[in-house]
Amino acid sequence: MRKSSLIGHVAELLDTVLASGQPADSVVREFYRKRHYLGSRDRRYVSETLFGILRQYRLLESIARRAIPPQSFLRSPKVPSIALCATYALRVLGETATDLEPDIAGLWRVVWFDVDCTAYLESIGKIDAFEGVGSDPAKRIALETSMPDSIVREWIARFGEAEASQLCKASNQPAPTAIRVNSLKCTVEQCREVLLGEGIATERTALSPAGLTLDRRVNTQALSSFRLGFFELQDEGSQLIAMLLEPRPGWTVVDACAGGGGKTLHLAAMMGNRGEVIAMDVGELRLKNLAARAVRAGVTIARPLVVGRDDGVPESLAARADAVLVDAPCSGVGTFRRNPGAKLTFSEDFVAAVSRTQRDLLDKYACLVKPGGRLVYSTCTLLQQENEEVVGRFVATHPEFSFVSAPDVLRTQAVPAPGEGPFLTLLPHRTSTDGFFASVMVRS
């Protein structure tokens, strides 16, 4: 397909993502489902360009706005997607205005007839994106990495300016493709050999003993090894969460916010498929994929159970679980490198609201832990309001629970976990994982 047409698809898809408020990967899947004529190479170009723009959206939008005559915004206050595509090509990919104009001029005339395309393209390279930012390091880092100001300010306060900058930059890079090998079907080395036979080289992950990193992005669902249940797509950091429960064969384990069931399957594998893993969530839709995934993985001990937001927990499970995992819904700040569009919808009001939900979930499911049992709270965010403050309040109001060191729990399993305090905090620039927080509590 001609480049001009591909750019048009990117602009159309970008408009759809921005208007929907849904995760970009979900929107992209639906977009491709209706456009079977796009080949694999075309899809790769569209996806890589789209996600590149989303990662740099705030910076690109700032540059584009400076290059557009003010009177042009009288028609619409938004910067058109075609202008963002052009800015990305020039400022990020390093293309020249001369080379880009033939591929974009036709689209430009249709979308933005009152702004001269040639003048816009020629002005982009001359703009200082940081003009007016001043000496405020938080504003500069936030603009440079297209991060929300409030997140950058918190990270500077916690980690210092230099490390906050590194964390923001790492959160703005594409994530590697990591998988968790299913120990019910094969060993890690056996999985590596099978994948190599399918043309995919891998490396052992640095932290998770069950993890591999693929040498390139591939459609894993098309692989016979995936269909045989040899592995699941799962970030390396996420793989460590189930290990914090240290589940044993024969245990009763509750995955209280199971979602699609990735951690449920990991727990079942660690238990040797003996015992019971009860996968709870608020609706059948969120658990719909678990049954098929369990069959592929050879898991027979996973039991889905719908527990509505306003429902109480089953009395039959009270104080019966050896371990309970509350992998709580959160702002997803730790997954920005996988879902960069979430930066555009991030709000402090949502963080305040979701932190209340997180506290309620801990209060709700703690009663399932039997005396001597373990309660693990985890999120994929790196904000204290959703992490340290939530578990701190919980322990203060539930004196029967006390912290044990999450990093130490992992170290006893030969995982070189970072940190010395009670909590596990995974920072992308240090661990090459998504950002995660986890706390381990034991009931006396």
Average pLDDT, rounded, for the chain:
95
Max distance between CA atoms of the chain, in angstroms, equals 71
Sign for the pseudo-dihedral over CA of 426, 167, 236, 368: positive
The confidence score (pLDDT) of residue 132 equals 81
Active site residue 380: yes
Does a structural domain hold residue 396? yes
The confidence band for 283, taking pLDDT boundaries of 50, 70 and 90, is confident
Spatial CB neighbours of 5, under 8 Å, sequence gap ≥ 6: none
308-330 per-position pLDDT tens digit: 988 999 999 999 999 999 999 99
Shared-domain flag, residues 308 and 409: yes
Does a structural domain hold residue 231? no
Q: What is the mean pLDDT of residues 283-300?
A: 92
Look at residues 437, 402, 403, 392 and name the one whose alpha carbon lies nearest to residue 418.
437
The confidence band for 133, taking pLDDT boundaries of 50, 70 and 90, is confident
Does a structural domain hold residue 203? no
Shared-domain flag, residues 367 and 423: yes
Shared-domain flag, residues 23 and 165: no
Shared-domain flag, residues 336 and 426: yes
Shared-domain flag, residues 267 and 241: yes
Question: For residue 318, how many other CB atoms are within 10 A of its CB?
Answer: 13
Does a structural domain hold residue 355? yes
Are the C-beta atoms of 172 and 190 separated by less than 8 Å? Answer: no
Look at residues 372, 376, 264 and name the one whose alpha carbon lies nearest to residue 320.
372
Shared-domain flag, residues 95 and 58: yes
152-178 per-position pLDDT tens digit: 999 999 999 999 999 999 999 999 999
Q: What is the mean pLDDT of residues 402-420?
A: 96
The confidence band for 131, taking pLDDT boundaries of 50, 70 and 90, is confident
Which pTM does this prediction carry?
0.95
Q: Which domain holds residue 83?
A: 3-124
Does a structural domain hold residue 106? yes
Does a structural domain hold residue 279? yes
Does a structural domain hold residue 180? no
The confidence score (pLDDT) of residue 85 equals 96
How far apart (Å, rounded) are the C-alpha atoms in residues 391 and 394?
A: 5
Shared-domain flag, residues 392 and 259: yes
The domain spanning residue 308 has which CATH number? 3.40.50.150
The confidence score (pLDDT) of residue 74 equals 64
Q: For residue 114, which amino acid is it?
A: D
Among the listed residues 168, 186, 191, 380, the single catalytic one is 380
Kind plus residue range of the DSSP H or E element containing 91:
helix 81-91
**Any idea what DSSP says for residue 276?**
E
Does a structural domain hold residue 369? yes
